[in-house]
């Protein structure tokens, strides 16, 4: 009986922690840090460090959205979408939009922590390394997102070669709110879709139901 009294509150705290972990944190910022550290170890020049551009990062999240949850390279968006779709949807000033100088994209069914996503998914070929170490890059933006609260998960890094602090500028200094996912260079927390919240809430309620059943069985066995 005493065991039941303390197991339930502890379990509730654990379940709340799991829900919180599902919602918070920004892996996009961690990926930018890994990109810069990796470039620094390979390129012995001050220019190895790329500016973390939130406007470009928000557009990386928009880039992911065009895949509609399908890991299909055939869904790669046309270049015209950069100015006609991504920039307006992020609140990027059209006059500051420049050419994307490089792109890294990865997708898989299950979520991967930033270190694994970087080393095993984004940087998986000589071509990827060539893009990563390109000396023409001056800035980078990273977007990370799932699909309706689950997999497939996408990681996208867009690189620019324009003058830092004057390209992909956000109107008013802040990106428009996104429906889901994380993007680097922003103070805003990762956006959580309604589906993700529903998924987390569903998990929490199922957990409570299981605990209630356990309590009933435990009480019955003590009589």
pLDDT of residue 25: 64
pLDDT reported for residue 23:
41
Q: How many Å is the Cα radius of gyration of the chain? A: 21
Q: How far apart are CA 196 and CA 152, in angstroms?
A: 13
Tell me how far apart the alpha carbons of residues 115 and 175 are, in angstroms, rounded to a whole number.
Answer: 26
Residues (pLDDT < 50) of the chain are: 1-24, 193-205, 216
User: What's the rounded Cα separation, in Å, for the pair 50 and 197?
Assistant: 34
Structure tokens at 123: 């940087």
Domains of the chain: which residue ranges? 51-194
Angstrom distance (rounded) from CA 180 to CA 61 = 9
Which tens digit of pLDDT belongs to each residue from 170-186? 999 888 888 889 999 98
Residue 36: closest CA among 182, 141, 154: 141
Please count the other Cβ atoms lying within 10 Å of the Cβ belonging to residue 131: 18
CB atoms within 10 A of CB 50: 20
Cα–Cα distance, 190 to 111 (Å, whole number): 15
The whole-number pLDDT of residue 152 equals: 94
Per-residue burial over 56-91, b if 16 or more Cβ lie within 10 Å, else e, is: bbbbbbbbbbebebebeeeeeeeeebbeebbbebbb
CA dist 192 and 198 (Å) reads 10
Tell me phi and psi for residue 100, to 5 degrees. Answer: -75, 120
Q: pLDDT at position 191, please?
A: 72
Looking at residue 45, the DSSP 8-state letter turns out to be S
Identify whether the C-beta of residue 108 lies closer than 8 Å to the C-beta of residue 71: yes
Q: The tokens 């309706």 sit on which residue?
A: 148
């Amino acid at each position: 009986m005493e065991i039941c009294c303390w197991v339930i509150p502890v379990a509730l705290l654990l379940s709340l922690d799991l829900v919180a972990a599902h919602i918070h944190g920004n892996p996009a910022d961690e990926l930018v840090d890994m990109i810069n550290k990796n470039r620094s170890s390979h390129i012995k020049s001050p220019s190895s460090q790329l500016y973390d551009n939130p406007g470009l990062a928000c557009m990386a999240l928009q880039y992911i959205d065009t895949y509609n949850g399908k890991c299909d390279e055939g869904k790669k968006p046309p270049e015209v979408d950069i100015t006609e779709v991504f920039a307006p949807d992020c609140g990027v000033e059209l006059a500051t939009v420049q050419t994307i100088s490089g792109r890294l994209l990865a997708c898989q069914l299950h979520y991967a922590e930033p270190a694994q996503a970087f080393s095993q998914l984004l940087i998986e070929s000589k071509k990827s390394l060539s893009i990563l170490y390109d000396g023409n890059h001056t800035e980078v933006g990273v977007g990370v997102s799932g699909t309706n609260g689950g997999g497939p998960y996408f990681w996208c890094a867009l690189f620019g070669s324009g003058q830092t602090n004057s390209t992909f500028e956000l109107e008013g200094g802040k990106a428009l709110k996104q429906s889901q996912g994380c993007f680097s260079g922003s103070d805003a927390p990762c956006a959580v879709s309604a589906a993700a919240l529903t998924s987390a809430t569903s998990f929490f309620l199922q957990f409570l139901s299981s605990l209630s059943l356990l309590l009933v069985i435990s009480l019955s066995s003590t009589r």
